[in-house]
Amino acid sequence: MEQFHGVGVTPGRVVGRVRQMPTPIREPEPGAGLSSGASVEEETARIRAASKSVQAALKGRAAATTGDAKGVLEATALMAADPMLVKGAIKLLDASADGGARSAERAVWESGAAVAEKLKSLGGYMAERSTDVLDVRARIVAELRGLPAPGIPESDEPFVLAGEDLAPADTATLDPTKVVALITSAGGPQSHTAILARALGLPAVVAAEGVDRIPEGMPVFVDGAAGTVLTDPGEAESEAAVAWARQAAALALFTGSNVLADGHELPLLANVATGKDAAKAAAAGAEGVGLLRTEFCFLDRDTEPSIEEQVAAYGAVFEHFPGKKVVIRTLDAGADKPLPFLTNAEEPNPALGVRGYRTEWTSPGVLGRQLEAIAAAASEHEAEVWVMAPMIATTDEAEHFTRLAREAGLRTAGVMVEVPSAALTASHILAHADFASLGTNDLTQYAMAADRMLGPLAHLNNPWQPAVLGLVKATCDGAAVATSATGTSKPVGVCGEAAADPALAVVLAGLGVTSLSMTPRSLAAVNAVLKTVTLAKAQELAALALGAPTAQTARDTVREHLPVLDDLGL
Ligand code: PEP
Ligand code: MG
């Protein structure tokens, strides 16, 4: 038995066999000529055979799949035998080709790049297919090298997916009926990969050094609450997994509204990115949307979406919440969510660069058009639309943004508080903004000067850190000052991942937060704990957490006072 310790990002106890994520395909050496000892004819035959075999594998997967995934796989299978790609590669084997002969691997690599470029230059739908060509190219090169296909491994049996880290795109294609848990040696608990794992409800442990070397097929026990992975589990672990499955079914439901034990209301909202997410959030009982991440609607775009496209994308969310609050955030491009039409890929320090609201300075007009689209979509639906800007750092920025929003006809305009300067000046910012929403993921990253994507910094990227709790309190205190100064209530929500931690949710309530927004999967667990505490008790626990010298003591102390967490396996 071997135990690995990491950071638990989604609770859940499961037993399963490990499948390792294949390492990404490396670019073949340029200028090395034909593969040694091979003739052009032999290399041609290898390319044709590899393309056929990749096509057959993709067709096989398409036949075994339904829905959207089937269509995607069928289209990708066609691409694997695309004449432009295959013939283009074969031409590059010849000594007369520009740059001389290449190996089969190199020829496929270059031909794939050329096809992808061509598609990109066509724009629109065709441009969006360029990443699919690059995926097919990697599959053919893997086949030529006799390596496993890149991407999530295929398996008939459910498995525990292990790896160094996953690209957000890989995580998005995870099939939760096949992947029962996710364990990575790198990655932070607030990385977008972790966020997506949480959204899928997958028990997950990140930053667990060594799990990417667990042998293929090894049975493991994953405890997503404790953040541990154990190889060769025994009877006790299997029983814990069965008990969890029973518990999870009981915790799957949240209906009505969230009130504390004394009747204090604390609405639970959902974080969403698309209409599909919104439908799921509504079905999970969310009382509204606390964060619509609009950049996620356009991650695959390299040109600015038209106003019509934007109206359709936002309307697809609004329609699921008639009469309910939907907080839509303007594009938060940059850092790990680059949008080529807004951000500069060459920035040396993108998390500290031109991201979020700041793109208004380098690409003026995009924000104004987005606000126009939001207002148009809002006018077509009955949702109560609130708008907010990400990465606000100063009062001037808050004043400028809220003015733009109101000029566009949006009545309720607020800001994200995710930069420490905004937390510390909340009373001034909220003199202009109608509300604040704490983005605890970035607030933690910036307070602790710790890149949220980095596994080795996971212990710093912890919203229980005393400095982060202090900044949350500063924001709530600032809102109280602004409320009495303006005579208008200034609500402060939380839409970072901290809201989805049931113990921390109690602390946030005690600090004065007025709503919590999270992935719909976490609503029931957070509600199950919050309804057992009064506001006075939450305030008492918040004071204990604030007074603790370390993140660990804050968490341990609060958990000790909330035995309900253990009873529920949270
Ligand atoms: C946050 O920073 O907490 C947040 C909600 O924004 P994002 O995770 O999209 O950066
Ligand atoms: Mg953020």
Q: Are 222 and 368 found together in one domain?
A: no
Q: What is the DSSP letter of 409?
A: T
Cα distance between residue 288 and residue 267, in whole Å: 8
pLDDT, tens digit, for every residue of 512-524?
A: 999 999 999 899 9
Q: Which ligand 1 atom lies nearest to the CA of residue 390?
A: 6
51 with 16, same domain: the answer is no
Say whether 192 is catalytic: yes
Q: Are residues 448 and 538 in the same domain?
A: yes
Task: Examine residue 554 and state whether it is found in any structural domain, yes or no.
Answer: no
Domain identity same for 100 and 131: yes
CATH code assigned at 242 = 3.50.30.10
Does residue 334 have its Cβ closer than 6 Å to ligand 1?
A: no
206 located within any domain:
yes
| 125 within some domain | yes
Q: Are both 504 and 383 inside the same structural domain?
A: yes
Q: Are residues 336 and 464 located together in one domain of the fold?
A: yes
pLDDT the model gives residue 169:
58
**Residue 324: CATH number of its domain:** 3.20.20.60
Considering the domain architecture, whether residues 319 and 463 belong to the same structural domain is answered as yes
pLDDT confidence of residue 173: 67
* pLDDT for 168 beyond 60: no
Predicted local confidence at residue 38, as pLDDT? 86
Same domain, 329 and 218: no
Chain segment 522-554, per-residue pLDDT in tens: 999 999 999 999 999 999 999 999 999 999 999
Rounded distance from Cα 191 to ligand 1 centre (Å) = 9
With both helix axes pointing from N to C terminus, report the angle between 130-145 and 83-91 in degrees, rounded to the nearest 10. Answer: 50
- Do 349 and 475 share a structural domain? yes
- Domain tally, the chain: 3
Q: Is the CB of 105 under 6 A from ligand 1?
A: no
Cα-to-centroid distance, 442 and ligand 1 (Å) = 6
Q: Is residue 255 part of a domain?
A: no
In a domain, 131, yes or no: yes
pLDDT at position 354 over 90? yes
Listing DSSP states for 31-52 in one string gives T--SSTT--HHHHHHHHHHHHH
One domain, residues 491 and 544: yes
On whether residue 258 sits in a domain, the answer given is no
Q: State pLDDT tens for residues 93-150.
A: 988 888 888 999 999 999 999 998 988 888 766 766 777 888 899 999 999 999 888 8
What CATH number does residue 111 fall under?
A: 1.10.274.10
Q: Is the pLDDT of residue 251 over 60?
A: yes
pLDDT tens digits, residue range 481-521?
A: 999 999 999 999 999 999 999 999 999 999 999 999 999 98
Strands (E), 176-234: 179-184, 204-206, 219-223, 228-231
Does the annotation count 495 as an active-site position? yes
Task: Determine the atom of ligand 1 nearest the C-alpha atom of 495.
Answer: 5
Per the prediction, the chain carries an average pLDDT of: 91
Has residue 369 been placed in a domain? Answer: yes
Which carries the bigger pLDDT value, residue 66 or residue 415? Answer: 415
Please tell me the predicted confidence (pLDDT) of residue 246: 77
Residues 423 and 522 reside in one and the same domain: yes
Give the pLDDT confidence score for residue 124 in this predicted structure. Answer: 66
Residue 7 in contact with residue 183, Cβ under 8 Å?
A: no
Of all residues in the chain, the percent with pLDDT exceeding 70 is 96
Co-location of 526 and 413 in the same domain: yes
Q: Domain residues for 242? A: 3-20+153-163+174-250
Is the pLDDT assigned to residue 62 strictly greater than 90?
no
Q: How far is the CA of 21 from the centre of ligand 1 (A)?
A: 27
29 versus 199: the higher-pLDDT residue is 29
566, part of any domain: no
Angle at 43 between CA 38 and CA 44, to 5 degrees: 145
